C-alpha cells in the first residue's frame, strides 16, 4: 500500500487518536514554538510516532499546499469499510446518510464530512464519476472527519439509492423547486439526504430516484446555499428531529 499525506493539526491529531500505528512519520515546522505546537509535539511523542524536523518549504512540498499549519504526516492507509452494506450493517438505530451527487470541490466535500461527523451521520455516498475523492485538501478541510466518516464512491448512484430504499431508508432529495419545505418532512427515521452540485443540482435520474423532494426556505435575495452549508442545515434538522422524538417505551 502506498503512503498518503495528511496535513494540518486536526487531520493529523485524529489519525494519532484513531490509528497511531499507521503513521510513518510526522514532519513539523521547527520555527513554530507556540503552545499549540508544543502540545502537539508532546502528543506525538506520547504516541511513539516518528517526529521529523522540517521547514516551511519542505512541508509545502510534501503536501502540495502552503496551508499546512506546520504539520504534515506520511501515513499508511487504514482499512476502511469498503461497501455501503458493511457500514449500514454496523449501524445501531436509524441510519442517517448523506448523498452528494456531483460535488467536485474538495473544500465542499471536506466541509460536508466535518458536518457529518458533528451531526452523527453514518455514511456519505457519491458517484465515482464527476465527484471528488478524499485527497489531502479534503482531509485538511474536514479537520479529521475524513478519518471518521465513511465516504464511499459507487458506480451507479441511482441503483444505490434503490438499494437504500430496499433497506427501508427513505431517500429525500433537496431541490429548489420542490413544493415541500425541509421543515415539513419527517426525518426522524432512517433517511438518506441527497444534495446535488451547486448550480446544476441533482441529475435527473438521481432526482427521479428520490422518494420525496424538499427545499430549504430562502427569505433573502440569495436563491440558494453553498452545498456544504445546505448539507449542514439538512443534517442538523434531522438531528433535531431525532433528539425530540421520544424513545419507544
pTM: predicted TM-score of the whole model, two decimal places: 0.74
Cα separation of 106 and 121, whole Å?
Answer: 19
**39-81 per-position pLDDT tens digit:** 999 999 999 999 999 999 999 999 888 889 999 999 987 766 5
Q: Where are the domains of the chain?
A: 4-75, 84-244
pLDDT at 248: 46
Domain 4-75 has CATH 3.40.50.720: no
Under 8 Å between Cβ of 145 and 116: yes
The single residue listed with the C-alpha cell 422518494 is: 211
Asked if domains 4-75 and 84-244 share a fold, the reply is: no
3-state secondary structure of 11: helix
Q: Give me the numbers of helices (H) and strands (E) for the chain, helices first please.
A: 9, 11
CATH class of 84-244: alpha beta
Cα separation of 81 and 68, whole Å?
Answer: 28
**126-182 per-position pLDDT tens digit:** 999 889 999 888 988 998 888 889 999 999 999 999 999 999 999 999 999 999 999
C-alpha distance across the termini of the chain, in Å: 49
Beta-strand (E) ranges in the chain?
4-7, 23-29, 51-54, 71-75, 96-101, 123-127, 151-154, 170-174, 180-181, 191-196, 212-215
Amino acid at each position: 500500500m502506498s503512503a498518503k499525506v495528511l496535513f494540518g493539526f486536526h487531520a493529523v491529531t485524529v489519525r494519532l487518536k484513531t490509528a497511531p500505528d499507521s503513521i510513518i512519520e510526522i514532519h513539523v515546522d521547527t520555527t513554530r514554538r507556540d503552545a499549540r505546537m508544543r502540545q502537539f509535539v508532546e502528543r506525538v511523542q506520547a504516541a511513539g510516532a516518528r517526529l521529523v524536523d522540517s521547514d516551511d518549504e519542505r512541508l509545502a512540498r510534501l503536501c502540495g499546499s502552503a496551508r499546512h499549519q506546520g504539520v504534515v504526516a506520511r501515513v499508511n492507509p487504514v482499512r476502511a469499510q469498503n461497501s455501503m452494506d458493511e457500514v449500514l450493517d454496523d449501524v445501531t438505530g436509524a441510519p442517517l446518510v448523506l448523498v452528494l451527487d456531483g460535488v467536485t470541490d474538495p473544500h465542499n466535500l471536506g466541509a460536508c464530512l466535518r458536518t457529518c461527523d458533528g451531526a452523527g451521520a453514518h455514511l456519505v455516498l457519491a458517484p465515482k464519476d464527476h465527484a471528488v475523492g478524499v485527497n489531502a485538501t479534503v482531509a485538511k478541510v474536514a479537520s479529521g472527519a475524513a478519518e471518521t466518516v465513511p465516504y464511499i464512491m459507487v458506480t451507479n448512484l441511482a441503483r444505490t439509492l434503490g438499494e437504500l430504499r430496499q433497506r427501508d431508508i427513505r431517500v429525500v432529495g433537496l431541490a429548489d423547486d420542490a413544493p415541500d419545505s425541509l421543515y415539513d418532512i419527517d426525518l426522524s427515521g432512517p433517511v438518506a439526504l441527497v444534495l446535488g452540485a451547486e448550480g446544476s443540482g441533482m441529475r435527473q435520474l438521481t432526482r427521479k430516484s428520490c422518494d420525496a423532494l424538499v427545499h430549504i426556505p430562502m427569505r433573502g435575495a440569495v436563491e440558494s446555499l453553498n452545498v456544504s452549508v445546505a448539507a449542514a442545515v439538512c443534517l442538523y434538522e434531522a438531528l433535531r428531529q431525532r433528539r425530540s422524538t421520544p424513545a419507544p417505551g
